[in-house]
Amino acid sequence: MNNLLIVFAKNIKLGKVKTRLAKTIGDDEAFNVYKHLVALTEESTSKMTGCDVHIYFSDVIIETKWKGKQKFVQHGNDLGERMFNAFKGGFEAGYQNIIGVGTDIPDLNEKIMQNGLDALQKKDTVFGPAEDGGYYLIGMNQLLPFIFENKPWSTKGLLDLTISEIEINGYNCEKLEELNDIDNIEDLKKSSIAEKFEYFF
């Protein structure tokens, strides 16, 4: 198998997930939103064919999630280090095309993820832009450490800065469709799962 999908999953812990959203709707409800998002991500990623799927949990492995998939614990001092280590492990294991996704994009589906893998047949890197200026999907067909180093994580300029650096270093990039990730109440209101949680508004 040449293709690998990495899922970066924060463990579902009360008071530790969707903290910006929790400031508006409380820890219990933010927990429920994130639990639903993880379930959606598990469903969509489990439909992927033609690639292996590795799950990287933030703290501890949860055996009841993503049954039958290889599971690991993230390692690193920040998001960049954790993603770098996961991608590095994938390339060292022999995979040629690797994409990584998070667990807070309700509209992420198997078609979009497959498009990400397909893009790496022609491009060095691929990104799924998020509406907040970051990205919900990252992929590459060779390990490019600088992508993960000294980045303003969780800021509006993240994706533009990353792509600029990629091009300066002589590599190219494909961008997928833009999606909304859920970080705060406004994101939730305009999301495809808003109806399920509209009693918050």
Per-domain residue ranges of the chain? 3-200
The shares of helix, strand and coil residues in the chain, as percent rounded to the nearest 5, are: 40, 20, 45
At 67 the pLDDT is 95
- Rounded to whole angstroms, the Cα distance separating 187 from 146 reads 30
Give pLDDT tens digits for 72-105. Answer: 999 999 999 999 999 999 999 999 999 999 999 9
* In the predicted structure, residue 106 carries a pLDDT above the cut 70: yes
* In the predicted structure, residue 200 carries a pLDDT above the cut 80: no
Where are any strands of DSSP class E within the chain?
3-9, 52-57, 70-73, 97-101, 125-129, 135-140, 173-175
Write the class of the CATH domain 3-200: alpha beta
At 155 the pLDDT is 83
Taking residues 106-132, report their average pLDDT: 97
* In the predicted structure, residue 130 carries a pLDDT above the cut 90: yes
Backbone angles phi, psi at 53, to 5 degrees: -125, 125
Residue 111 near residue 72 (C-beta atoms within 8 A) = no
Spacing of C-alpha 157 from chain mean position: 17
Q: What is the overall mean pLDDT for the chain?
A: 94
Taking residues 157-172, report their average pLDDT: 97
